Chain A
């Protein structure tokens, strides 16, 4: 059975801090790993990672995948209150169909 564990489950930091969110996974036929940000309803897409060791970057957010150790991290530098959200990771096992297996998410709160 596919398994995804995110840590920490919740995190409270002050504006300007840097945070690192963790995602470890066990899936069969791994194709990619996706990160989403969920503020109220719709998870919004952040990154798709397919190759180990190649950092993907978007503004203050970056993410990297380690396919050997089966984990990914999401970094957010110079956090802002607008970064407050639940961050979800989901490995994609592909194989002709791609129902995502999500972790419980990390609830990040940025205090002004």
Chain B
């Protein structure tokens, strides 16, 4: 049973560029959440997708956008990259049926470096 997978594992971009990160949830899960983790900090919630819609959003600017596909996989897009966007981006999947409060399982993350 495959767990949460993410691609790519590492990425280097320059300021002003755009990036797309991808996530496939654990089998049987339909909800995908994205987190940004800066060095030495805990993960910060970006947004969550359920039934192909953004269900909840954290305190991140509109440069951060996402999408969920019918097969529950998800993309995170970041436009106009800033140096401060350098971080580990984590995807977590869960079951949305209970309406929240379910355990989230994390993927290995994508390490983004913005130069």
A11–B99 Cα gap in the complex (Å)? Answer: 37
B residues in contact with A92, CB < 8 Å: 100-101
Interface size on B, residues (CB 8 A): 32
From A52-60, A64-72, A75-83, A97-105, the one touching the partner chain is A97-105
Could you tell me the distance in whole angstroms from the C-beta of B54 to the nearest C-beta in chain A? 10
B residues in contact with A14, CB < 8 Å: none
Q: Main secondary structure on chain A at its contact with chain B?
A: loop
A42–B104 Cα gap in the complex (Å)? Answer: 11
Could you tell me the distance in whole angstroms from the C-beta of A98 to the nearest C-beta in chain B? 4
Going nearest first, the 9 A-B pairs with the smallest beta carbon separation are: A102-B42, A97-B56, A31-B101, A94-B100, A99-B45, A94-B101, A98-B100, A41-B109, A97-B55
Binding site for B on A (CB under 8 A): 4, 31-32, 34, 36, 41-45, 48, 50, 88, 90, 92-105
